[in-house]
Structure 1
Amino acid sequence: MKIKRFVAADMRQAMREVREEQGPEAVILSTRRMEDGIEVIAAIDYDEALMREASRHGATAAETPPADKDDTAPRQVHVAAAGPVARTPRRSAAPPVAVAVEPPGMRPLMERAAQDTAQLRSELGSMREMLEMQLSSLAWNDLERRQPLRARVLREMTRLGIEADVARALVDELPDPINAEQARYLPLGMLSRHLAVSGRGLSGDDRGVTALVGPTGVGKTTTIAKLAARAVMRHGADQVALVSTDHYRIGAAAQLEHYGRLLGVRVYPAYDAESLRKVLEMLRSRHTVLIDTAGVAGSDPRLNQQVEILADASDLRACLVLAANAQSQSLDDAVRAYLPLKPHACILTKLDEAPNLGGALSVLIRHRLPLDYTTDGQRVPEDIATADARVLVCRAAQSLKSHVPDDGLMAERFGLAVASA
């Protein structure tokens, strides 16, 4: 029997190292949580009878007392010293007071019990994580054996960076059965079909009032300049107006004013719901009105104020601006934060700075958020395009440089879901 100790950052990594070095026949003898991670003792060529015999001899030796132990030695009794006693007159003696006496050694016993409980919980957690990993691995291997082409589609979705829940939902819609050619091309087709686009901007269809909202730093002001430039070329400067409600950032209004002067378009300030209502009433004859708002994070209390200001404006179309180079979780948090505003669509910016578009595509598909435009640079108005699902998905596939994900990652992402299905 060959026994080896493995130390890793977490249980998943430890199990992966055990599987890679000792193979699937390895037996886990013990697990222990340490300051620098998880310790796993694993063995191959495991002999259960030998281990049981060794454990029995170890227990017998532990129960036999040492020969030189003096059982007649007197026990030590610890007596706590009492403090000074307050004297009271004999005629008004106070009634006796009950004093709780704690047995000697009670505190160390309680501390040891608490430590043992914490260690037991840690070991149970490690065992549960280990069992979940093993179950996930078994379920994924079973899926690859029974439905290899579906497993291939899931692997391709993972390589594209599509989130696990979105990938599972798309694969559930696959026809049964599928052939190898379908498994090769269906992932891109399914993404294109489920990625909604609004078609806005085609054939001059950009009339009305549009407010661009979203977190700070996603490029709302630059995007407004691009949209305004397109509208000016189509309808003339006198049919376009810009409105600024961003009075928090220093220089925000000045930046919009600069774009307005370059385009020959006037910029109107709005400080609250009432002033915005008056400005929009004055501009109701304009073909295109674009509103620039302050970048507000989901946890910022100013977001509620912004929602109230825009909600009072009639016939206003809210468009959520998201940066494609942000992490998937940040994008999802932004969408959920702006849901009270009921955004009609989305603009995806900074495609040129995103190493992977899978996270952004996952968020748009998960929330069924139609896409208006995409931007991929700072040039005004060149670096903006009407959203095209097929072009965007092909771009996501062409820019991908990651390798095919291994079985460990696939089991982690999909194993438990397959097992519970």
Structure 2
Amino acid sequence: MKIKRFVARDMRQAMREVREEQGPDAVILSTRRLAEGIEVIAAIDYDEALIREAARHGAPSAEAPEAAPAVAVDEPQIAAPTPAAPPKRPLHAIAAAPAGHLPPMPPPSRMEPPVAMPPLVAVPSPAATNPMIDRTAQDTARLRAELGSMREMLEMQLSSLAWNDMDRRQPQRARVLRELTRLGIEADVARALVGELPDQLSAEQARYLPLGMLSRSLVISGRGLSDVAGVTALVGPTGVGKTTTIAKLAARAVLRHGADQVALISTDHYRIGAAAQLEHYGRLLGVRVYPAHDVASLRKVLGLLQGRQTVLVDTAGVAASDPRMAQQMDVLAAAGGLRACLVLAANAQSDALEQSIRAYEPLQPQACILTKLDEAPSLGGALSVLIRHRLPLDYTTDGQRVPEDIAEANARTLVCRAAQSLKTTAPDESLMAERFGLAVASA
């Protein structure tokens, strides 16, 4: 039997080191949290009988617990002897006694029985109580930490066993999950896509099906660049390229309908230079830009622009936690007749994209525009968010040129671009077990 001590920053790293050095047959003997991380004692060729025999003959005895302090002391009750009655003295002796020295009065004929006093109880002082409470709190915290570490370890082992079992029983499904993970698809979306696969899956299907499943899962609005008509408001967080995208759409509309049929509206009065940037694009295109700062001014401008083929509204980019978010959505909702289009940056993390979609849900955007494809190292996060929320995609942009760097959304083109830009190798098996092991075990 070979026993070794491992110290790592967390339980996951410790289990990985145990698995790499001692193999999957290693047995965890103990775990302990130290200042530098987690200590794990593991062994291979484990013999429980040998360990017990060694502990019985050679292991030092456990330290005896401290004796608890006495909390009560009982004293025997000793009844005081009944005092003898003093001898009777004549009256003249009493009268002759000096003041302040009168003889004691004789006891009554019938005396009350002695009352037994309760036993004395030693009350611990606050100075003695506080260390006991602190020790109990520390022991409780240590126990909780140990239970948490044990639960994490068991979950990791269960995940690894479930994933290995799935890889052995359904190798093609496991291959599809690896490919989707390599593309950067989120775990819940990947599980949903794999759930739609047929029971009998060949190796050729497992190779090409992931890309086809992704393209079929994306919702494309089918709105062409020549169909930029009506009143459209572009909303989204700051820095996603709303103003530049409006300029690209306005240039396409000018080429189709003429400059007199296109108008731009700026509601961004928070960011310095936002209106000036849109006015610069308007002068280049020969299109007039109208400012609108509240519901009344926006309604007035929209009334003046009735009959125009294309009206594009540029909004301020605010964070989801900004109180101006609700004010901006109230203005757009009260104006009426607007087609809200959410602008998302493809180079943002999936959590940020998810937060943006949830923040603008009250506005009920009808479509989405995906920008900055050229700056995104991976498109898996953006594709996962679009598939999860079934948000229709209008256009994609991949540069700053106006109006060249914009295209109609195409699912196959987008998925192929995601596959071509990916240069990572196959994901680690521990990552696959962490992402899909528990889900497989609970299925």
TM-score for both structures, normalised by structure 2:
0.85
Corresponding residue for 1:294? 316
**Which one of the candidate residues 346, 361, 365 is aligned to 2:387?**
365
Letter in 1 for 2:272: I
Partner of 2:401: 379
Q: Residue type of the partner of 1:299?
A: S
| Residue of structure 2 aligned with 1:229, choices 233, 236, 251 | 251
Q: Find 2:353's aligned residue among 313, 319, 331.
A: 331
Change in Cα spacing, 1:20 to 1:249, as seen in structure 2 (3 Å) is same
Q: What's the counterpart of residue 94 of structure 1? A: none
Alpha-carbon deviation of 1:47?
2.0
Distance in 2 between residues matched to 1:137 and 1:417, nearest whole Å: 11
Q: Which residue does the alignment assign to 1:274?
A: 296
Q: Residues 174-228 of structure 1: CA distance to partner in whole angstroms, max 9, x if unpaired? A: 11211111111100000000101111125x2221111010110111111111111
Shift, 1:7, TM fit: 2.0
TM alignment of 1:68-107, pairs within 5 A: 102=125, 105-107=128-130
Question: What pairs up with 1:136-285 in 2 under 5 angstroms?
Answer: 136-202=159-225, 204-285=226-307
SS in 2 for 1:372: strand
Which residue in 2 is equivalent to 1:81?
none
In the alignment, structure 1 residue 14 sits paired with structure 2 residue 14: yes
1:267–1:63 CA distance, 2 compared to 1 (3 A): closer
Distance 1:50 1:379, change over 3 A: same
State the structure with more CA Rg.
2
What is the one-letter code of the residue matched to 1:129? E
Paired residue secondary structure (1:61): coil
C-alpha spacing 1:124/1:62, structure 2 compared with 1 (3 Å): closer
Is 1:321 aligned to residue 343 of structure 2? yes
Structure 2 residue aligned with 1:42: 42
Which amino acid is 1:9 matched to? Answer: R
* Equivalent position amino acid for 2:52 in 1: R
Runs (4+) of structure 1 exceeding 4 A deviation are: 57-60
Amino acid in the other structure paired with 1:35: A
Distance 1:64 1:225 in 2: 81
Name the % identity: 80
Do the aligned residues in 1 keep the contact of 2:228 with 2:249 (CA within 8 Å)? no
Structure 1 vs Structure 2 CA RMSD? 2.1
Contact kept, 8 Å, 2:235 with 2:340, in 1: the verdict is: yes
Give distance in 2, aligned partners of 1:60 and 1:191.
63
Uncovered stretches (5+) of structure 2, i.e. residues with no partner:
70-121
Greater shift in the superposed pair: 2-11 or 351-360: 2-11
Residue 278 of structure 1 aligns with an amino acid whose one-letter code is K
Q: CA deviation at 1:235?
A: 1.0
- SS of 2:61 mapped into structure 1: helix
Alignment length (residue pairs): 391
- What is the match of residue 398 of structure 1? 420
| Structure 1 match to 2:29 | 29
- Alignment partner of 1:112 is 2:152: no
Q: What's the offset of the Cα at 1:34? A: 2.8
Residue from 360, 363, 371 that aligns with 1:349: 371
C-alpha displacement of 1:314: 2.0
- Structure 1 position 104, deviation (Å): 6.2
Distance 1:20 1:207, change over 3 A: same
Residue of structure 2 aligned with 1:125, choices 115, 126, 148: 148
Q: For 1:336 and 1:57, how far apart are their aligned partners in 2?
A: 65
What residue number does 1:83 align with? Answer: none
Structure 1 CA distance for aligned equivalents of residues 305 and 127 of structure 2 = 85
SS of residue paired to 2:318: coil
Q: Measure, in 1, the Cα distance between the counterparts of 2:127 and 2:236.
A: 64
Post-superposition Cα deviations, 1:243-269, rounded to whole Å, max 9, x if no partner, equal 000000000000001000001000000
Distance 1:5 1:329, change over 3 A: same
Q: 1:338 to 1:60 in 2, by over 3 A?
A: same
Aligned 8 A contact 2:268 2:316 in 1:
yes
Aligned residue for 1:403, secondary structure, equals coil
For residues 132 and 404 of structure 1, the distance between their equivalents in structure 2, rounded to whole angstroms, comes to 23
3-state SS in 2 of match to 1:319: strand
Change (3 A) 1:336 1:63: closer
Counterparts in 2 of 1:404-419, with a 5 A limit? Answer: 404-419=426-441
Paired AA for residue 176 in structure 1: D
SS at match of 2:356: helix
